[in-house]
């Protein structure tokens, strides 16, 4: 099957791009490809809302949105991208409404807006506390109506290119583990971020392993600002479920085990997460307190949280405190792009996997769905323009053969190693050593461990040899991507010897103006496995753990 444009990823950004192309040019063949369930993208988990100044003539309000976003980004945002996003926001809400999203209304029947952290005005539009899932559900329907095809359960392994122009994608069809090629004139990467790598300590689905970033790196593109991993202040302590910022936006307090409030709940996420982490490090527990809100308010504005707290923690939030902890939530780093354009012609990026400079060192809550929608729309427009009068290019079958061999290799040999234990210990290692606070020492521990895992991962094989929907195969392929991306995070975090936004270095606690620049990573070199090799006791202990 060949397509004019293939979009990798079925979240808000990918769907907006697909709709934009099909709506403008119905004759074009457009497919959205996802590795799993279309309804389970990270966008659908972003619950609290989407920022916008609704009146597009309100220049003062739009300027405030721009200023808040720039301030929240700690000097590393690209002004052009921020201005574009904030100016387009009101129009995007109108467009989403026309696609069937029903935003909550105030008493006068206008779209209601709530407060979110770092915002100098109430500008977060919402659908209760399930804004992301309401938007994605409407977009999935709209995309289907305009004729976008869905290729679900396809794991993209690589892109192919000729003379720095994209020619298609190589993917694994999960149904029978065949390596397939889909030629395309343009490809849009919109496959999400990499917080899911912090497995067990993340609001993300575990399969958010930064696949698009690893694909881009292998294709010769650069990754930018990878050290900036945002920790959402309020994950449910028991399960890491996202306790939406909407809970604080609707008036919830944060209190410690002494019952004291200790931070402005609507400060930016980096500040609030740091403050909570400090309490926890001092032996306190931290809770969100919603008991002063009426039951009716909770039921209408926070229905998902009400249910989840009850189901996952046995807590009735209208009567009891809910224990929370900061967890990895969003990644500001990504594939280097100018707005949506990359250095490979015909290859565009949008949404969380791209680094277009909107968020800099720290993203404001409510700006992620906005960024996805605005830059998804733009990527669609750019791709449509690009394919005009373009021919298909030949596929580089070397990549296809290499990917097929890699898959066969994973099936063909036996193993006793437990990739699941590796994925869990990777998440734990990152949270502990590349978490809210890092130091050279903690980063070195993570780096050494990553090298060890990378070496081990090349000898991972499936125990189940069936080629039908083999979940082990996908887990191994995801782990390979996750390890490449993790190494990029650690290397960048080592390089940034200062604290800025979401990146806090315990050994460099101050912001350093000389470091007001981006860290860009072009490739990962094969590394030696020094420390783990030397510490034989530790190594054999770890081997025993991983083989169980
Ligand atoms: C939330 O509801 O807190 C998540 C939304 C976001 O990250 O923007």
Model confidence pLDDT, tens digit, residues 365-413? 999 999 999 999 999 999 999 999 899 999 999 999 999 999 999 999 9
CA end-to-end distance (rounded Å), the chain: 42
Give the start-to-end residue ranges of the domains of the chain: 231-329, 397-547
- Going by pLDDT thresholds of 50, 70 and 90, the confidence category of residue 66 is very high
What average pLDDT does range 58-75 have in this prediction? 98
Report d(CA 284, CA 260) in Å as an integer. 11
- Mutation to probe ligand 1, out of 89, 365, 374 (largest number of atoms < 8 A from CB): 365
Report d(CA 317, CA 324) in Å as an integer. 12
Is any atom of ligand 1 closer than 6 Å to the C-beta of 372? no
Is any atom of ligand 1 closer than 6 Å to the C-beta of 328? no
Identify whether the C-beta of residue 166 lies closer than 8 Å to the C-beta of residue 160.
yes
For residue 480, indicate whether it is catalytic. Answer: no
Q: At residue 234, does pLDDT exceed 80? A: yes
Report CA(309)–ligand 1 centroid distance (Å): 17
- Going by pLDDT thresholds of 50, 70 and 90, the confidence category of residue 542 is very low
- Going by pLDDT thresholds of 50, 70 and 90, the confidence category of residue 540 is very low
Mean residue pLDDT across the chain: 94
Q: Of the candidates 341, 330, 350, 344, which has an alpha carbon nearest to the alpha carbon of residue 19?
A: 350
**Closest C-alpha to ligand 1, atom 7:** 365
Report d(CA 490, CA 259) in Å as an integer. 37
Is any atom of ligand 1 closer than 6 Å to the C-beta of 43? no
User: What is the atom index within ligand 1 of the atom nearest the CA of 246?
Assistant: 2
- Going by pLDDT thresholds of 50, 70 and 90, the confidence category of residue 415 is confident
Q: At residue 246, does pLDDT exceed 80? A: yes
User: What is the atom index within ligand 1 of the atom nearest the CA of 330?
Assistant: 7
Report d(CA 407, CA 426) in Å as an integer. 22
Is any atom of ligand 1 closer than 6 Å to the C-beta of 196? no
Q: At residue 354, does pLDDT exceed 70? A: yes
Q: At residue 543, does pLDDT exceed 60? A: no
User: What is the atom index within ligand 1 of the atom nearest the CA of 45?
Assistant: 4
- Mutation to probe ligand 1, out of 11, 51, 233, 329 (largest number of atoms < 8 A from CB): 329
Max CA distance (Å), the chain: 69
Q: At residue 454, does pLDDT exceed 60? A: yes
- Check residue 526 and give its pLDDT: 58
Report CA(50)–ligand 1 centroid distance (Å): 8
- Going by pLDDT thresholds of 50, 70 and 90, the confidence category of residue 137 is very high
Report d(CA 361, CA 350) in Å as an integer. 18
CATH of range 397-547; options 2.30.30.50, 1.20.58.100, 3.40.50.1360, 3.40.50.10800:
1.20.58.100
Q: 7: which strand partners?
A: 32, 188
Q: Which of 123, 248, 269, 500 is catalytic?
A: 269
Report d(CA 325, CA 275) in Å as an integer. 11
User: What is the atom index within ligand 1 of the atom nearest the CA of 234?
Assistant: 3
| Fold topology of 231-329 | Flavocytochrome C3; Chain A, domain 1 (3.90.700)
Report CA(267)–ligand 1 centroid distance (Å): 14
Is any atom of ligand 1 closer than 6 Å to the C-beta of 187? no
User: What is the atom index within ligand 1 of the atom nearest the CA of 50?
Assistant: 8
């Amino acid at each position: 099957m060949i397509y004019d444009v293939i979009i990798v990823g079925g979240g808000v950004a990918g769907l907006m791009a697909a709709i934009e192309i099909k709506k403008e040019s119905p004759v074009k063949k457009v497919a959205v490809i996802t590795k799993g369930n279309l309804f389970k993208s990270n966008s659908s988990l972003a619950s609290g809302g989407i920022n916008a100044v609704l009146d597009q003539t309100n220049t003062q309000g739009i300027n405030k949105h721009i200023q808040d976003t720039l301030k929240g980004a700690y000097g590393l945002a690209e002004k052009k991208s921020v201005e574009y996003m904030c100016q387009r926001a009101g129009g995007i809400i109108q467009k989403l409404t026309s696609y069937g999203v029903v935003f909550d209304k105030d008493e006068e029947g206008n779209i209601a807006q709530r407060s979110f952290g770092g915002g100098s005005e109430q500008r977060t539009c919402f659908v209760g506390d399930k804004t992301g899932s309401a938007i994605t559900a409407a977009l999935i329907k709209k995309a289907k109506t305009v004729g976008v095809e869905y290729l679900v359960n396809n794991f993209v392994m690589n892109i192919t290119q000729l003379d720095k122009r994209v020619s298609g994608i190589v993917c694994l069809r999960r149904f029978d583990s065949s390596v397939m090629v889909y030629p395309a004139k343009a490809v849009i990467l919109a496959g999400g971020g990499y917080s899911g790598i912090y497995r067990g300590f993340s609001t993300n689905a575990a399969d958010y392993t930064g696949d698009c970033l690893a694909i881009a790196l292998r294709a010769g593109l650069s990754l930018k600002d990878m050290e900036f991993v945002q920790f959402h202040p309020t994950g449910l302590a028991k399960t890491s479920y996202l306790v939406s910022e909407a809970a604080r936006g609707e008036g919830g307090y944060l209190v410690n085990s002494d019952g004291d409030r200790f931070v402005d709940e609507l400060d930016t996420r980096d500040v609030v997460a740091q403050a909570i982490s400090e309490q926890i490090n001092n032996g306190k527990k931290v809770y969100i307190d919603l008991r002063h809100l009426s039951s009716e308010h909770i039921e209408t504005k926070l229905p998902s949280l009400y249910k989840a707290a009850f189901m996952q923690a046995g807590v009735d939030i209208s009567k009891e405190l809910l224990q929370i902890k900061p967890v990895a939530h969003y990644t500001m780093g990504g594939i280097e792009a100018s707005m949506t354009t990359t250095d490979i012609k015909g290859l565009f990026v949008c949404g969380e996997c791209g680094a277009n400079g909107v968020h800099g060192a720290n993203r404001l809550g409510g700006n992620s769905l906005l960024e996805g929608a605005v830059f998804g729309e733009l990527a669609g427009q750019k791709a449509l323009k690009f394919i005009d009068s373009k021919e298909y290019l030949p596929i580089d079958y070397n990549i296809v053969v290499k990917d097929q061999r890699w898959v066969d290799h994973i099936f063909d040999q036996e193993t006793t190693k437990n990739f699941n234990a590796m994925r869990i210990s990777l998440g734990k290692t990152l949270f502990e050593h590349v978490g809210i606070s890092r130091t050279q020492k903690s980063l070195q521990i993570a780096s050494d461990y990553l090298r060890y895992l990378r070496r081990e991962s090349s000898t991972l094989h499936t125990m189940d040899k069936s080629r039908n929907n083999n979940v082990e195969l996908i887990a191994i392929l995801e782990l390979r991507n996750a390890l490449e991306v993790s190494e990029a995070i650690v290397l960048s975090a080592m390089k940034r010897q200062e604290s800025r936004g979401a990146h806090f270095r315990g050994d460099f606690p101050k912001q350093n103006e000389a470091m007001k620049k981006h860290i860009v990573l072009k490739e990962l070199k094969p590394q030696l496995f020094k420390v783990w090799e030397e510490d034989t006791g530790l190594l054999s202990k770890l081997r025993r753990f991983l083989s169980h």
